Amino acid sequence: MSDPDLLFKALADPGRRKLMDRLHAHDGQTLGELCRHLDMTRQGVTQHLDVLEAANLVAVQWRGREKLHFLNPVPLQEIYDRWIRKFERPRLKALRDLKRRLEKD
Amino acid sequence: MSDPDLLFKALADPGRRKLMDRLHAHDGQTLGELCRHLDMTRQGVTQHLDVLEAANLVAVQWRGREKLHFLNPVPLQEIYDRWIRKFERPRLKALRDLKRRLEKD
DNA sequence: TTGACATGCAAGTAACTGCTTGCATATAAT
DNA sequence: ATTATATGCAAGCAGTTACTTGCATGTCAA
């Protein structure tokens, strides 16, 4: 199971989300390929990719001198299952709580 | 539509996520109630709640001198719909991409 | 009206983040 | 072998963040 803090932190940056979008559009790109389309230094991209990798959102595979990057969607699913979904259902309960609260007046 | 950056940034902090958990357990708590169970200064909690409110994850209602806090699960659903779900499906496509890439050798 | 209570506002600080620059290493191509 | 390419590593720096402390404001209750 991935560390939820690493995960949320990784998703918190728009540059990293864009990076994931580009990998989603075309998985398995090298660092250079990814840099070519982003308005950022290579080192900047590297650092973002490191964060994504630490969060287990991106997996890496070396081919010669090239580093291929692959998306791993599993942690996103985990976020949904363990975090987002539970905030979906209780709308009815929330309304009950609200009603109870307001009736205190 | 909520600003996705505010949203992800708001979720990036474990203290804020805990705060949302407590509101999920019991919606409509006052600032004081929330502070009582968190290991943080009142001002710290206030600032976190401000971030959550800016992200539209928490709504506020005043009752006299008390400030009631209510969870708004809608932005979470938006994150799922617009961001997480699209990374679910393409596992097959990702595998095809991977296969194609590796066959370059 | 006075005192207690719930919260707001503002400034200061330490840690973290994102980004850049410069140099180093390893693989491929000629 | 030499040169070009793909990437790594490390230090520095500005902006942001989370947190604290001190004081101010507004509401309720006796």
- List, in order, residues 6 or more apart from B104 with CB less than 8 Å away: A63
Please state the separation of Cα B17 from the chain's center in Å: 7
Beta-strand runs (E) in A1-105: 29-30, 58-63, 66-71
3-state secondary structure of A29: strand
Q: Are B6 and B53 in contact (CB under 8 A)?
A: no
What pLDDT is stored for residue A102 in this prediction? 53
Both structure tokens of B60: 């506020």
* Per-chain mean pLDDT for chain A: 89
What pLDDT is stored for residue B90 in this prediction? 52
pLDDT in tens, chain B (105 residues): 789 999 999 999 999 999 999 999 999 999 999 999 999 999 999 999 999 999 999 999 999 999 999 999 999 999 998 898 888 755 555 555 555 555 544
Residue A89, pLDDT above cutoff 90: no
Q: Do B93 and A9 touch (CB under 8 A)?
A: no
What pLDDT is stored for residue B105 in this prediction? 43
What pLDDT is stored for residue A104 in this prediction? 47
* Chain D bases near protein CB atoms (7 A cut-off): 5-11, 17-22, 26-28
- List, in order, residues 6 or more apart from A38 with CB less than 8 Å away: A15, A18, A19, A22, A45
Inter-chain contacts counted by CB atoms under 8 A, chains A and B: 87
Going by pLDDT thresholds of 50, 70 and 90, the confidence category of residue A2 is confident
A9 touches strand C (CB under 7 A): yes
Chain B residue numbers with beta carbons less than 8 Å from the beta carbon of A101 are 28, 68
Give the tens place of pLDDT for each residue, A52-83: 999 999 999 999 999 999 999 999 999 998 89
3-state secondary structure of A62: strand
Give the nucleotide with minimal C1' distance to the Cα of A10.
C17
Chain B residue numbers with beta carbons less than 8 Å from the beta carbon of A94 are 27, 70-71, 73
What pLDDT is stored for residue A12 in this prediction? 98
